[in-house]
């Protein structure tokens, strides 16, 4: 009988990992109902079964993951206090430095690169008791040249970019939590295409030390989970201040999970927005959002963004490419021929941007956030598409970030919720946006909507 116990426990762990959210898994790990090793083994088994098809991982070492899990089990067995992520496996986008573990930025020019120091977020994860399961695939230098990752719901469709591997790994049940980054739409769009919750916090909420810098004015670290509570659990650990990242500031702990799990004092109100680029939305996305708005009744009202918002995309692109040309100069100088066409063209465009145009573009977030202030005084969150529709067929593109870049430019928090389904069975994401700094309230509203649709 004893010989049969371990396989039985691991079978149960596999089932739990596939059906339970990260918070429920955390609770089972903390109580001892589930061991760190059994959960890690379930993730390893899923990767072994599906990785050849999905291609979510740039680096994964099963023995390294097991060693971490065993150490965490021994730590708990000794009666020592455990961290908020104790035993939870986490995937890291391969632009996030990990000491003595390859971090190759999805780029041939960085092949074999092994950092000597963990990024800030990796230090936080280790302190919280997470198992670093591996590094997830990213597009080249976190830009638009597609990674090898496929959408787990339909292997011939894009998973999005640039955090493709992180979204796909969570969607396929390979890992309960993952970390990504967004400069345009690289958290929200793959979350929408892969059918998971993606959370892009307010700009500067999570320090970026040790993370590949594409655009210092836009780059934001985000998280992936099965549901909004899982996203809040992971982000809660990562929020903080780092003197080496000037975008961060000293602030008290955000208590994201506590706020997200609390009942709203009153039923949330949503502002239904048709953002710039609305003509690009798939008809079934438009219809689904109209139906959702009608179902919400008095809790939803339509609002038009001021005309000035139509210029936001050009301003964001100007900032992104000018800063990318500066930060990626060595890649273009030392090996431009090895870069994908999308990256080369972006660097060329960035090098041609005039200083006056770049400096003028930097003024736009303040202008746009002033316009959003009036809307946020009337609602808990803006509701709009996370992507034009379901994941497009084909792997030659990462999809259109038309509905994401505006919120990245404004630095506002955004969440993609997997609550809609297209006619072909693929997921479609609804995006909720909150005011800058209102991350906890946004996650609470997202949890409410997620559960309301599920009831």
- Catalytic residue positions, numbered: 93, 162, 186
Cα–Cα distance between 188 and 328 in angstroms, integer? 24
Cα–Cα distance between 262 and 153 in angstroms, integer? 32
Beta bridge partners, 179, equal 92, 223
What does the DSSP 8-state code read for residue 101?
B
Sheet holding 270-273, edge to edge: 57-59, 131-136, 89-93, 177-182, 220-225, 197-200, 414-421, 427-433, 381-385, 270-273, 300-303
Report residue 375 CA to chain centroid gap.
25
Enumerate the H helices of 279-384 as residue ranges. Answer: 283-296, 312-327, 329-335, 341-351, 355-361, 364-376
Q: What are φ and ψ of residue 204, in 5° steps?
A: 90, 0
The position carrying tokens 């039923």 is 267
What does the DSSP 8-state code read for residue 98?
B
Beta bridge partners, 430, equal 385, 417
Question: What Å distances lie between residue 216 and 91, 185, 316, 339, 413, CA to CA?
Answer: 23, 15, 12, 21, 17
**CB atoms inside a 10 Å sphere around CB 7:** 9
Cα–Cα distance between 13 and 214 in angstroms, integer? 38
Cα–Cα distance between 225 and 223 in angstroms, integer? 7
Enumerate the H helices of 222-270 as residue ranges. Answer: 228-238, 256-261
| Cβ proximity of 385 and 431 under 8 Å | yes
| Cβ proximity of 445 and 381 under 8 Å | yes
Question: What sign for the dihedral angle of Cα 145, 149, 155, 158?
Answer: negative
Cα–Cα distance between 25 and 372 in angstroms, integer? 37
Cα–Cα distance between 11 and 6 in angstroms, integer? 9
The position carrying tokens 């993951």 is 65
| Cβ proximity of 46 and 172 under 8 Å | yes
């Amino acid at each position: 009988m004893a010989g049969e116990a371990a396989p039985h426990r691991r079978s149960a762990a596999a089932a739990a990992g596939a059906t339970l959210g990260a918070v429920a898994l955390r609770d089972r790990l903390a109580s001892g109902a589930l061991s760190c090793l059994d959960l890690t083994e379930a993730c390893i088994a899923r990767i072994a079964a599906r990785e050849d098809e999905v291609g979510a991982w740039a680096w994964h070492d099963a023995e390294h993951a097991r060693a971490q899990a065993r150490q965490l089990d021994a730590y708990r067995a000794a009666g020592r206090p455990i961290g908020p992520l104790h035993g939870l496996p986490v995937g890291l986008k391969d632009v996030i430095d990990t000491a003595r573990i390859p971090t190759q930025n999805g780029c041939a020019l960085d092949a074999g690169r092994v950092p000597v120091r963990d990024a800030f977020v990796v230090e936080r994860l280790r302190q919280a008791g997470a198992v670093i399961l591996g590094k997830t695939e990213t597009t080249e230098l976190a830009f638009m040249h597609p990674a090898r990752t496929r959408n787990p719901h339909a292997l011939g469709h894009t998973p999005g970019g640039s955090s493709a591997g992180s979204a796909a790994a969570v969607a396929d049940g390979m890992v309960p939590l993952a970390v990504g980054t967004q400069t345009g739409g690289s958290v929200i769009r793959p979350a929408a295409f892969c059918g998971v919750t993606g959370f892009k916090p307010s700009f500067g909420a999570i320090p970026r030390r040790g993370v590949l810098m594409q655009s210092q004015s836009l780059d934001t670290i985000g998280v992936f989970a099965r549901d909004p509570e899982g996203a809040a659990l992971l982000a809660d650990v990562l929020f903080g201040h780092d003197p080496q990242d000037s975008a961060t500031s000293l602030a008290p702990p955000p208590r994201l999970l506590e706020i997200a799990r609390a009942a709203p004092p009153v039923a949330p109100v949503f502002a239904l927005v048709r953002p710039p680029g609305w003509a690009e939305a798939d008809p079934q996305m438009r219809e689904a959002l109209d139906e959702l708005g009608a179902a919400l009744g008095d809790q939803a009202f339509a609002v038009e963004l001021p005309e000035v918002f139509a210029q936001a995309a050009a301003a964001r692109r100007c900032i992104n490419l000018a800063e990318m040309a500066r930060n990626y100069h060595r890649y273009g100088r030392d090996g431009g021929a090895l870069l994908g066409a999308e990256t080369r063209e972006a660097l060329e465009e960035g090098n041609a941007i005039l200083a006056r145009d770049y400096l003028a573009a930097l003024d736009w977030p303040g202008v746009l956030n002033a316009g959003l202030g009036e809307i946020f005084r009337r609602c808990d969150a803006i509701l709009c598409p996370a992507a034009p529709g379901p994941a497009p067929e084909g792997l030659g593109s990462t999809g259109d970030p038309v509905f994401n870049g505006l919120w990245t430019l404004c630095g506002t928090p955004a969440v993609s919720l997997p609550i809609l389904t297209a006619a072909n069975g693929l997921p479609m994401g609804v995006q909720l946006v909150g005011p800058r700094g209102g991350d906890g309230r946004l996650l609470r509203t997202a949890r409410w909507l997620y559960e309301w649709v599920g009831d």
